[in-house]
Amino acid sequence: EAGVTQSPTHLIKTRGQQATLRCSPISGHTSVYWYQQALGLGLQFLLWYDEGEERNRGNFPPRFSGRQFPNYSSELNVNALELEDSALYLCASSLPGNYEQYFGPGTRLTVT
């Protein structure tokens, strides 16, 4: 069974630009979660999508947004990039009503 996949693996952007990160959940999983792993800040919860709706949001500014598509894949958008947005962005998925979150390999975003 294929795991959670994320693309691209690496992304280099300039301050002020926009970044789009993509995630495909495990087949049958309807929930998608986004986490940021930044140096010195650890792993922080960003967003939770379930059945196309945003269910929960972490303590991040509105320029972090996303959506979930009918096939349950998800996109994370980061607008007006700042240097401190440089981090590993991890996507996870889970079955309906299940608390086991399975993570993908991440997208390394570098803002210069």
Partner 1 sequence: GEDVEQSLFLSVREGDSSVINCTYTDSSSTYLYWYKQEPGAGLQLLTYIFSNMDMKQDQRLTVLLNKKDKHLSLRIADTQTGDSAIYFCAVIFSGGYNKLIFGAGTRLAVHP
d(CA 54, CA 65): 10
Shortest spacing between CB 104 and partner 1, in angstroms: 5
The three-class DSSP label of residue 19 is strand
Nearer to partner 1, 50 or 80 (CB): 50
Rule CB under 8 A: say whether 12 interacts with partner 1: no
Contact status, residue 8 vs residue 75, Cβ threshold 8 Å = no
102 is an interface residue for partner 1 by CB under 8 A: yes
**Residue 106 is a binding residue for partner 1 (CB under 8 A):** yes
Our CB check for partner 1 shows the closer of 11 and 105 to be: 105
Q: Does 110 bind partner 1 (CB under 8 A)?
A: no
Which of 51, 15, 48, 7 shows the shortest CA–CA distance to 30?
51
What's the closest the beta carbon of residue 16 comes to partner 1, in angstroms? 28
Is 92 a binder of partner 1 (CB under 8 A)? yes
Q: Is 39 in the site for partner 1 (CB under 8 A)?
A: no
- Strand residue runs (E) in the chain: 5-7, 10-13, 19-24, 31-38, 42-50, 53-57, 64-68, 74-78, 87-94, 102-103, 107-111
By CB under 8 A, name the binding residues for partner 1.
4, 31, 33, 35, 42-45, 48, 55-56, 58, 90, 92, 94, 99-106
